[in-house]
Each structure stands twice: as C-alpha cells, then as structure tokens.
C-alpha cells in the first residue's frame, strides 16, 4: 500500500516538473518561432515609422536612456545606503525603520509606482511625461535591489581587512574607499546587472510616466517608449503578435545575457572566498 | 594659538569622517523618504474625493457600478476579480511549482538539476508583458475555439497567465528553502525506515514550511500587482464574476486602462483604487514579515 | 581576489563604453533624423492620432519642426491643452460646455465616420440605429434575433472617457450606465478591431481609417459606411475630428501646422488616409 503511494507521489513530482518545463519551454519557443523572422540588422537599428514598418531603434535608445539615468542615480545612493547600514549604523530603531522601508519598497506593485510617478514627477515636479520622470520612478524601484546586493557583498568582506587597515592608522573613510568597497565590487556589480534586468522588464510604471511617443527622444525631457512598453502596445493596438514576439526575443536575449553575467560574477566571487 | 600642521590635518580628517557618516545616513534615509512620499502622494490624491468632496468610502468599496462619466465609482467587482484571480492562480501555480522545486532539490539526478535550476531562475526575469502576449496569442483563442466560449478574455485566462508567470518565483524560492533543510533530518527519517518519498513529504517539506510560505506570499504579491499581462487577457468587463468564463477587470487593470483618460475626480478615484491595492499588499507584507520572523526563530 | 578585481574593472569599463557609445550613437542619430527646430507638442485622441502622425510626417519634411504626438485619449488631450501641458489637443468628440468655457478654440480638421464592425463570418450585415442600441445595451443578446447564426453576442466597447465612445453613444442614444455590463472593454481602435477580428461572436465600433478586410463593416439603415455617404449625410454615425487649443498658447509654428492641415495639400493627406476631408 505504502509502495503504491510512494510511486504515485513520485509520479506526481515527475509530472509537475515536466509540466513546468514544458510550459516555460513552450512560451519561450513560441516567442522565438513567431518572431525570429523579423530579426535583422534593420529591425534593430532602423528608425521606427508610426505609419507602419520600420525598426525599433527609438525604443532601444529610450531603454538605454532609462537604464543609464536610473543606474547613475540609484547606484551611488544604494551603495552608500548599504555602507551606512553595514559599516556605520548601530543596530536600533533607525536601522529597523530603514530596513522596513527598503523591504516595503520591494513589495509595492509597479502600477503603484506608476501612479506615484505620474502625480509626483510628472505633475508636481512638472517634468511632464518624460524619460526623466520614468527614470526617477525606476530609481526608487531598483534602489532596494542595489542596497540588498551591496549589503550582501559587504558582509563577505573579511573583518580582518577592516582591522588590518585601521591598524595601519587609516581613518574609517579611507578604509572604506580603499579597502572595503574595492573588494565588494563584484557583488555590487552583479546587483547593478540585476537592476538592469528589472528596468528592462518594467512596463506599467513606465507606461504611466514616460508616455508612448514612438520617436527617438530629443533629450531626457522627451516623452518616449521603451522596448517592453512597445511590445505591449504593439500587441494591444495592432494585434501584431509577430512584431511583439520579435521585440520579446530582443528583451529575452538581453536579460539572459545580463543574468548569466551576474551569475558568472557571483560564482567567481564565491570561488575566491 | 594657531594649530600645528598635524592638528590641522587631523581636524580635516575628523571633519571628513563626520561629513561622510552623515552623507551615508542621508543616502540610507532616501528609501524611507521615498516610501513616505509614495504613501503620502497616493493616499492624498486617493482620499481627496472622500475627505473633500463628500463621496462615501463605503459606497466606493462596496459599490457595484463603475461609470466615471456618470459620477459612479464602485470598485467591488474589481476587488472580487483581483481576489479570485490571485487565489485561482495560487491554486494552480503553487502545487506545480512546489512539486517542481521538490523534484529539483531532492529527486532529480544532479546533472539535470544543475541545468534546470538556473534555467528556471533565469525565467523569473522575463518581462511579464511577454506572458500577456502569449496569453492573448495562444490561451485566449484556445479557450474560444476549443472550449466553445463566446469570448476567451476571461477570469480563467487571467488565472492561467498569472499561474505560469509565478512558476519561476515559486520554484526558485521553495527550492532554496528545501535545500536549506539540514541533511541530518533526512538521515534520521531514513534511518527510522521511512521511504525516500515519505521522508520528503513528512519531514523535508514541513521543515521548509516557512520558506515555502514566503514563496507563496511573494507570488501572491506578484499576482495581485500584475498589470500589463492581465490587461491583454482579462476582457476588462465591469461585472462581479460568477463563473471562470466571465471577463473581469482586476484593480490594477482599472488603473492602467483609464489613467490616460482620466481627469479630476475620476483620476482621484483611480488613486483610490491604488490605495485598495496598496492595502492588500501591506497586509501581505505584514504576513510575510510574520512568517520570516517565525522562520528566524 | 586580485583576478576578480581586475576582471570586474574590465567589465565595468566595457559596460560603460558600450553604454556611452550606444547613447552617443542614439543622440547623433536623433540629431540627423530630426531637425533642431521648434518642438510642437500635441496630445489626445487615439482616433485622431494616426492621422495627425501622417500629417506631421509630411509637415516635418517641409518645415524645421519636431512634432511630438502623444495618443492618450480625447479627454486627457483636452485637459492637457487647457492647462498648457500640450500646445494642441486632439479630440474625436465635441467639446463639453465646461471645456468650451475654459477658453478653448476648436478647429475641425476632418470628419470621421464610426463603423460598427463584426467578424467577417457574421451573416448580419445591416442594422438599424435602434438595433445597434439594443445590442450595446444588452436588450438583444443573440445574433439569431437579428437574422444571424445562433451565437451569443459579445459586445466590445471603448473605455469610459474615450472620445469615440462618447460620440458613438451620443449618436446611438444610450449612456455609459446603460452599456451592457459584461462587454469587453478595449483601449484603442486597434484593440477593438483585433478583438472583433478574432471572435465570431463579437461586435464593436471603430473609426473609418481602421477598417480593413479582417472585420466586416455593418450598413446602418441600409446605408454603407463610405466618405460620400457621410458627406451627403445619409450615413448617420459621423463626427468631427478637432484640434483644440488656447489662443494665447498657440505658437506661430502651431498655427502653421494647422494651416497646413487645412490647405489642399493637407486635406489630400486626410483623404489618402481614408478619412473624410472638409470639402
């Protein structure tokens, strides 16, 4: 009796795993099969024409803009915040509040970030629907990721490094800048790469803050459309699944490369320890 | 009276030390400030109609009609739709994801697990919009053509898309939790003559309970907050769903669908919709905090 | 440890170079593809939007100007033009009283017909306005009652606040509250067309310029939806396309664009887009 039950449960485990794999492979496969024919040099580097045809270059540029701007702002803030939490702060109420806030930010759905961005950056600060409004919204979204990964990286820096450096008569700040942060670089880097993935995948928050103008941005105050938003709008407005899938392939490839790089770096890091 | 050069440089050092400490604290406070701003602005905007314009909050939560052009704002159908969609996707996604995690951690031959685990992990990063594209291109027509539904945009389509979307999260987080169960637990159980499968279900899974619960709460948050993938397959009808084949409008899609068109009270009511969504997330976060506190003990 | 450090620094350097080169490439590209002239911001109706894009594309080749068009719906576009976020708003419905009162000027740039569309396989191809109303308010729920196959009717409507929806409801004669509750709500003409084209139960309404072979246009009281029939007023479902603006916000460049649209060249583009020119 027990044997039968064992076999049954074992079967369910195999079946569930197979199902998971089949589902995920089907989706990726579907997107690749539907979209690969459209992928070529002109598709990626060609200018977009709102009246039909053309490439996705304006959306690629917009996506790069949002990545660069939000990382430029979030990375230093995130790193220094992590430094404070790990190296400077005494455990207590303030640290608990900071950690609670950071964790809460992680759980907020992106549509709420979109609402906030729309009322704060777009309307109150009067940036209008623009790349800068979207990037600042994204900055808050990725801040917790940067803080968490940097903290993890700082934790792995051996205490002896700090003691050794301080013993040589350097100040805490010098120790931090010359010894601790440099040895935490790989960990920080993998956090940055993960945030890039998050930015690329984001849609709802950008949709409400950057608008949907499908043209090369003139500058950071232009309204524009990222790749992910483009793939949504193409599906929704024209039902062009092949085009949406082709954009999907570009997105998936970028994210896979980013994630593999992050994994590679953190593996190297672990080995070194 | 004047300081010696050494004292001067020491003073500078001391000043820099103090300044940098302050600066780092300021950076750390930015997340607190951001959270306060988000809550402040969303709640201020969303509560304005109730505080300043005399709309009834009870009518808003329990009202069945959402007709902005006629000044009727009731989100009850959307609350129901969000809850059904979230619970439904958990019912499908959690068992499949959990069993897959168990398989990868305990049963799968090492070389297979070594390839599969990271692959599933990578899939967690795929933009959710693409799941919606797949849903509209494949799942909706499938429901229409093979099940004979008048329309494929339905609660069940939403549930399927969300369940698929949450799989990578559930698998990855529960797998980590299961792998963290000490070997001695398994050895002890096996030594008592319990079979491998029996050990997994009676010892390992219960021991990893808090991690698994965290995985479930995390994916619940993702499901209830998902917007763009859901818009494409929900149909966005304003009814309280009575069957899986009804088309629905969850809270998130109401915001994204109408935000571009809204002004005045209508827009404020969309922020109020955001508050309802926010409250669900806060409750979830609270539960998650309780669970991880328990896990820590 | 040292190796990783070196490796990481290389990686950072590489990433920065790639990003910077990509960005400067993008910036150069944007300079060459568009002029350094005035930027004219227009926002509003998703029905007027595609036409405005076509007009802007032509006008940008003639003049040193960038035209930024945001398709966010009539109501939002009108609001934007009132509070100065956009210089010109696009509307596919008439202005409401309070909108006129806030000092907006309107210019009709074209006329558009709204077409009721079904799946091509649908046998019903002619309806009265009253039948359309009964369908959209849920009084008639099966195509059989209208002489079609025994199929449940699936109504597809635009979202509340859409100019097309306002115009359609006003002409057909029902209010938002009367719209059948389980109708699919689609955002945008393309979305409606696409939903109707893939569902043999469905019926929706779209702007003239979106009609193609994937959907079947329905005659209203036996009159086909053609530009001629709109102009001779036998086809009832029509409305004006408006540009709205505050006189004090309208720049010389904005006025120039409007003049271009109203010129015979501009109206020629309107006609080629499948929309009804003023004359």
Query: Are the C-beta atoms of B155 and B245 separated by less than 8 Å?
Result: yes
- C237 contact A CB<8A: no
Under an 8 A CB cutoff, do C4 and A268 touch? yes
- C93 contact A CB<8A: no
Under an 8 A CB cutoff, do C4 and A47 touch? no
pLDDT digits (tens, 9 = 90+) for C125-174: 899 999 999 999 999 999 999 988 899 999 999 988 788 898 899 899 99
Q: What are phi and psi of A163, to 5 degrees?
A: -60, -45
Q: How far is B261 from chain C (nearest CA, A)?
A: 5
Interface test with C, best of B147, B261, B269, B270 (most C CBs within 10 A): B261
Strand partners, C104: C246
In a domain? residue A201: yes
C185 vs A54, residue with greater confidence: C185
Which residues in A lie closer than 8 A to residue B108 (C-beta atoms)? 17
Cα-Cα-Cα-Cα dihedral sign, residues A183, A184, A186, A192 = negative
In a domain? residue A95: yes
CB atoms inside a 10 Å sphere around CB B242 = 9
Under an 8 A CB cutoff, do A211 and C72 touch? yes
Mean pLDDT of A163-186: 85
In a domain? residue A18: no
Interface test with A, best of C11, C14, C38, C202 (most A CBs within 10 A): C11
In a domain? residue A99: yes
Q: How far is B247 from chain C (nearest CA, A)?
A: 7
Compute the distance between CA of residue B36 and CA of residue A50 in angstroms, rounded to an integer: 40
Quote the pLDDT of residue B260.
Answer: 75
Which residues in A lie closer than 8 A to residue C19 (C-beta atoms)? 64, 67-68
CB atoms inside a 10 Å sphere around CB A14 = 15
Q: What are phi and psi of A57, to 5 degrees?
A: -55, -45
Nearest to A80 by CA among B32, B23, B16, B35: B23
In a domain? residue A155: yes
Which CATH number characterizes residue A150's domain?
1.10.3720.10
Chain position carrying tokens 């490796």: C7
Under an 8 A CB cutoff, do B260 and C73 touch? yes
In a domain? residue A131: yes
Q: How far is C184 from chain B (nearest CA, A)?
A: 5
pLDDT digits (tens, 9 = 90+) for C6-15: 555 555 555 5
pTM of the model: 0.86
- B148 contact C CB<8A: no
**Which of the 8 DSSP states describes residue B70?**
G
Compute the distance between CA of residue B124 and CA of residue C77 in angstroms, rounded to an integer: 37
- Count of structural domains, chain A: 1
Compute the distance between CA of residue A266 and CA of residue A227 in angstroms, rounded to an integer: 28
A213 vs B181, residue with greater confidence: B181
Under an 8 A CB cutoff, do C8 and A50 touch? no
- B141 contact C CB<8A: yes
Query: Are the C-beta atoms of C82 and C104 separated by less than 8 Å?
Result: yes
Which residues in C lie closer than 8 A to residue B65 (C-beta atoms)? 177
For A145, name the nearest residue in chain B, comparing CA atoms only: B31
Which residues in A lie closer than 8 A to residue C32 (C-beta atoms)? none
**ipTM higher than threshold 0.90:** no
- B128 contact C CB<8A: no
Query: DSSP alpha helices (H): ranges in chain C?
Result: 2-33, 49-62, 74-82, 97-101, 129-136, 163-172, 189-197, 227-231, 252-262, 264-272
Residue A173: give the domain boundaries.
Answer: 39-272
Compute the distance between CA of residue C274 and CA of residue C47 in angstroms, rounded to an integer: 12
Query: Are the C-beta atoms of A193 and A262 separated by less than 8 Å?
Result: yes
Q: What are phi and psi of C204, to 5 degrees?
A: -150, -175
- Burial level of B195, CB count in 10 A (0-12/13-18/19+)? middle
Length of chain A: 273
Quote the pLDDT of residue C99.
Answer: 84
Query: Are the C-beta atoms of B191 and B134 separated by less than 8 Å?
Result: no
In a domain? residue A220: yes
Chain position carrying tokens 């690629």: A60
Compute the distance between CA of residue A245 and CA of residue A30 in angstroms, rounded to an integer: 8
Under an 8 A CB cutoff, do B278 and A108 touch? yes
Q: How far is C135 from chain B (nearest CA, A)?
A: 15
Q: At what angle do helices A110-117 and B264-296 cross, to 10 degrees?
A: 140
* Non-local CB neighbours of C168 within 8 Å, separated by 6+ positions: C114, C158, C205, C237
In a domain? residue A3: no
Quote the pLDDT of residue B205.
Answer: 92
* Most confident segment among A40-44, A50-54, C70-74, C261-265: C261-265
pLDDT digits (tens, 9 = 90+) for B5-60: 777 777 887 888 888 888 999 999 999 999 999 999 999 999 999 999 889 999 99
- C79 contact B CB<8A: yes
Under an 8 A CB cutoff, do A109 and B20 touch? no
Percent of chain C with pLDDT over 90: 39
Mean pLDDT of C51-74: 87
Compute the distance between CA of residue B228 and CA of residue B223 in angstroms, rounded to an integer: 11
Quote the pLDDT of residue A236.
Answer: 85
Out of C75, C176, C195, name the one closest to residue B263 (CB): C75
């Amino acid at each position: 009796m027990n044997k039968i039950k064992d076999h049954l449960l074992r079967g369910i485990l195999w079946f569930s795993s197979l199902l998971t794999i089949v589902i995920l492979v089907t989706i990726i496969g579907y997107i690749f099969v539907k979209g690969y024919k459209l992928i070529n040099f002109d598709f990626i580097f060609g200018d977009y024409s709102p009246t039909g045809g053309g490439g996705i270059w304006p959306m690629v540029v917009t996506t790069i803009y949002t990545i660069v701007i939000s990382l430029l702002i979030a990375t230093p803030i995130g790193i220094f915040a992590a430094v404070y939490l790990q190296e400077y702060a005494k455990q207590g109420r303030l640290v608990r509040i900071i950690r609670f806030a950071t964790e809460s930010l992680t759980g907020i759905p992106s549509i709420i970030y979109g609402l906030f961005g729309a009322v704060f950056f777009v309307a109150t600060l009067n940036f209008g629907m623009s790349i800068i409004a979207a990037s600042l919204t994204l900055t808050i979204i990725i801040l917790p990721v940067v803080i968490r990964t940097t903290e993890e990286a700082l934790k792995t820096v051996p205490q002896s490094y700090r003691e050794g450096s301080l013993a040589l008569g350097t100040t805490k700040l010098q120790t931090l800048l010359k010894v601790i942060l440099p040895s935490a670089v790989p960990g920080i880097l993998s956090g940055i790469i993960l945030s890039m993935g998050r930015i690329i995948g984001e849609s709802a928050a950008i949709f409400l803050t950057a608008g949907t103008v499908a043209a090369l941005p003139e500058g950071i105050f232009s309204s524009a459309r990222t790749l992910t938003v483009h793939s949504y709008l193409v599906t929704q407005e024209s039902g062009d699944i092949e085009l949406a899938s082709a954009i999907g392939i570009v997105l998936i490839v970028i994210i896979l490369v980013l994630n593999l790089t992050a994994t590679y770096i953190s593996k190297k890091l672990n080995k070194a320890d | 009276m004047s300081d010696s050069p050494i004292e001067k440089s020491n003073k500078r050092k001391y000043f820099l030390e103090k300044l940098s400490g302050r600066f780092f604290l300021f950076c750390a406070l930015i997340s607190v400030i951001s959270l306060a701003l988000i809550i402040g602005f969303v709640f201020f905007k969303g509560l304005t109609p109730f505080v300043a314009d005399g709309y009834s909050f009870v009518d808003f939560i329990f009202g069945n009609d959402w007709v902005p052009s006629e000044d009727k704002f009731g989100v009850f159908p959307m609350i129901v739709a969000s809850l059904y969609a979230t619970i439904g996707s958990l019912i499908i996604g959690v068992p499949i994801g959990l069993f897959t995690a168990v398989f990868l951690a305990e049963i799968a031959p090492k070389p297979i697990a070594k390839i599969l685990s990271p692959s599933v992990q990578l899939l967690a990063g795929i933009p959710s919009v693409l799941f919606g594209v797949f849903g509209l291109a494949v799942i909706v027509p499938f429901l229409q053509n093979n099940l004979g539904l008048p329309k494929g945009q339905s609660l069940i389509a939403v549930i399927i898309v969300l369940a698929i979307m949450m799989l990578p999260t559930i698998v990855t987080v529960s797998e980590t939790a299961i792998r963290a169960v000490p070997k001695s637990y398994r050895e002890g159980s096996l030594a008592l003559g319990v079979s491998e499968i029996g050990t997994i279900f009676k010892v390992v899974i219960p021991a990893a309970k808090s991690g698994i619960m965290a995985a479930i709460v995390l994916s619940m948050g993702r499901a209830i907050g998902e917007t763009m993938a859901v818009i494409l397959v929900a149909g966005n009808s304003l009814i309280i769903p009575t069957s899986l084949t009804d088309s629905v409008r969850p809270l998130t899609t109401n915001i994204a669908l109408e935000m571009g068109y809204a002004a005045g009270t209508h827009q404020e009511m969309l922020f109020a919709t955001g508050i309802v969504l926010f409250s669900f997330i806060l409750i979830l976060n609270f539960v998650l905090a309780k669970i991880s506190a328990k896990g820590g003990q | 440890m040292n190796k990783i450090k070196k490796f990481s620094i290389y990686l950072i350097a590489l990433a920065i170079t790639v990003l910077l080169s990509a960005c400067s490439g993008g910036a150069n590209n944007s300079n060459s593809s568009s002029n350094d002239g005035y930027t004219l911001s227009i926002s509003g109706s998703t029905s007027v939007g595609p036409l405005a894009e076509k007009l802007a594309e032509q006008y940008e080749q003639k003049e040193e100007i960038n035209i930024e068009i945001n398709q966010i719906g009539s109501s939002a576009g009108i609001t934007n033009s009132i509070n100065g976020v956009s210089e010109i708003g696009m509307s596919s419905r008439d202005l409401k009283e309070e909108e006129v009162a806030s000092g907006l000027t309107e210019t009709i740039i074209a006329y558009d017909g709204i077409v009721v569309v079904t799946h091509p396989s649908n046998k019903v191809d002619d309806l009265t306005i009253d039948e359309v109303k009964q369908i959209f308010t849920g009084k008639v729920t099966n195509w059989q009652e209208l002489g079609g196959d025994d199929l449940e009717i699936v109504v597809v409507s635009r979202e509340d606040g859409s100019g097309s929806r306002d115009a359609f409801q006003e002409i057909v004669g029902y209010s938002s509250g009367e719209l059948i509750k389980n109708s699919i709500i689609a955002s945008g003409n393309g979305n409606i067309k696409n939903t109707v084209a893939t569902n043999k139960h469905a019926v929706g309404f779209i702007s003239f310029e979106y009609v193609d072979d994937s959907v079947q246009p329905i005659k209203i009281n036996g009159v086909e939806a053609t530009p001629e029939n709109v102009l001779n007023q036998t086809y009832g479902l029509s409305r004006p396309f408006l540009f709205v603006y505050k006189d004090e916000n309208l720049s010389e460049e904005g006025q120039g664009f409007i003049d271009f649209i109203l010129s015979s060249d501009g109206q020629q583009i309107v006609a080629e887009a499948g929309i009804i020119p003023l004359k």
